[in-house]
Chain A
Amino acid sequence: MDHNGNYKNEFGWFADKPKVPKKLFNFKAVFIGVVIFVVLVTSPLWKNLGQIIPGPDPQLNTAAIMKLPEKDRTCVESKEYMRANHMLLLGEWRDEVVRDANRDYVNSKGKKYLASLSNNCMECHSNKSQFCDQCHNYVAVVPNCWGCHWEKEKEKKQVAQSEAK
């Protein structure tokens, strides 16, 4: 190293190794950017943080169900199948009924049912707001069944309102 602080290696004379300051450049902009990102990503979660959110609670205690003997209180298919697949089954029924006028549904155990949302499903599950809506609202699903199918609950109370809708 010479008196100017320059040093020499096998390639010749070089200036001092650059001393890069150890700091965050544009700290303000970087900080604001990171904060905006973290806030945007996490903001939907703040409200419920640490709280216990009750799950859906579909009620099976309608008069029509309670009237049945204990062993006959089953849906057209198993509970697990219905939970995941009821919308597909209803879609199949719709196609069968509308296109082929076939109102019979034979389930996996060989039992025959009437394929109808209003006249079969909702005979037992007449409590739409305590049954259907529980899970639908919970996962923010808006099925278009109710565009045509009559809600028996509403029929009693607020016909005009549902028609206005």
Chain B
Amino acid sequence: MDFFKRHFLVPLIAVLGLVALAYIGVKADLTFVFGVVIPYLAVLIFFEGLIFRIISWARSPVPFKIPSTCAQGKSLPWIKRSLADKLDNPENRLQVFGRMALEILTFRSLFRNTRSELQPNQEKPEDSRLIHWSYKWLWLGAIAFHYAFLIVILRHIRFFTQPVPHFVTALAEADGFVQFYIPTVYLTGVLLVVAVTYLLARRLYTPTLRYISLAADYFPLLLIMAIGLSGILMRYFYKVDIAAVKQLAVGLATLRPVVPDGIGVIFYIHLFLVCVLFAYFPFSKLMHAPGVFFSPSRNTAGDNRWKLHVNPWNYPVKFHDYMHQEDDYREAMIEAGLPVEKEK
């Protein structure tokens, strides 16, 4: 098996295997395991792993101050800085906050993404020219994916709360405003699957991307795609008794777990895949979510010129300066006629 096949087929088989595992488990009457034990375990692993890794990151010192300076920094008073300059090269905490907010909420650095390609030179046909251009598709796919996923997750609050918070019902109403099909199609659910398909397709389609894509890149994409598809199948095609599903979810949320009878197997597949995603999260590239807050190139102010950053590694070094040198060799120096600072 070549590199690509190994790195793509293994996660694909893994996801299909997880689906099969949940199917077999529920058919073997392990609904309590798949409905209660595994979800609690997954949530425990998620929080514990997340906090463990955040603490391990927080223990790592930042030896150098390395803010990325993407615009005109603070300089002489007559050099004007626009708001964009301040956000791309922040000088204080407030501006750092602005830069982080832009990064986290709008994926600013992905928006700056460029593509480079060799194109035939019209003037010299035997030559080619390197062209760079702004490439927004990745940004668009990423932002559609992340916000769709966020709204999908927020909509699921309706299963864990009673009464359902008003903002959740309002969100669901806005999401289903097309009033197409019964039950109403939620746009974000479809958008999530479309976006994750695009993010997967670009890794498969572009040779350079395929070359650097590993199993750890494909697995979360395939897993989230399977979660989205199983959710859509459950909502629109293979119906389950949704009131019973909510009883199970509320039971989990109130720490009084119950497993009602008669919930279709597709629900347990969906739930198991979500549990795997939760448990996998702290060990994977998905940790970019908390990781973005720890990026020194983004979260430090570009104030290197007027604030000293002390390397936390610094320890008192034993210096051996000239006076010590002279102390060591004074007599020999005087004997050789070399000038000394102190005679004795």
Residues on A facing B (Cβ under 8 Å) = 3-5, 15-16, 18-27, 30, 33-34, 37-38, 44-45, 47-53, 55-56, 80, 83-85, 87-88, 90-91, 135, 138-142, 144
Contacts and interface: CB of A to CB of B under 8 A. Distances in A.
A90 B181 CA distance: 12
Contacts of A140: 158, 164, 168-169, 172
B254 A50 contact: yes
B256 A52 contact: yes
Given A19-B313, A142-B173, A87 B242 contact: no
A139 B159 contact: yes
B336 interface: no
A44 B173 contact: no
Contacts of B290: 33, 37
A84 B241 contact: yes
Contacts, number: 106
Nearest to B165: A44
B293 interface: yes
A139 B182 contact: no
Contacts of B320: 4
Given A25-B58, A50-B255, 12 more contacts: A3-B318, A24-B55, A33-B290, A38-B47, A48-B250, A53-B162, A53-B254, A83-B241, A83-B243, A84-B242, A85-B239, A140-B168
A21 to B, nearest CB: 6
B339 to A, nearest CB: 26
A23 B312 CA distance: 10
A5 B319 CA distance: 10
Nearest to A51: B254
B162 A48 contact: yes
A45 B243 contact: no
A85 B242 CA distance: 10
A87 B161 contact: no
Contact of B246 (A16, A25, A138): A138
Main secondary structure of the interface of B (DSSP, over half): loop
Given A48-B254, A55-B247, A135-B243, A25 B183 contact: no
25 contacts: A5-B318, A15-B317, A21-B312, A25-B60, A25-B61, A38-B47, A44-B161, A45-B254, A47-B161, A48-B253, A49-B253, A50-B255, A50-B256, A51-B256, A53-B250, A80-B262, A83-B243, A84-B241, A84-B264, A88-B182, A91-B182, A135-B242, A138-B162, A139-B246, A140-B164
A80 B158 CA distance: 23
Nearest to A30: B58
A37 B47 CA distance: 10
B243 to A, nearest CB: 5
Contacts of B313: 18-20
A52 B58 contact: no
Nearest to A86: B239
A4 B317 CA distance: 8
Contact of B59 (A24, A55, A83, A135): A24
B139 interface: no
B45 interface: no
A25 B246 CA distance: 42
Given A55-B243, A141-B183, A34 B51 contact: yes
Contacts of B250: 48, 53
Nearest to B313: A18
Query: Which of A3, A30, A56, A85 lies at the interface centre, i.e. has the most chain B CB atoms within 10 A of its CB?
Result: A30
B62 A44 contact: no
A84 B240 contact: yes
B182 A90 contact: yes
A21 B262 CA distance: 57
B162 A30 contact: no
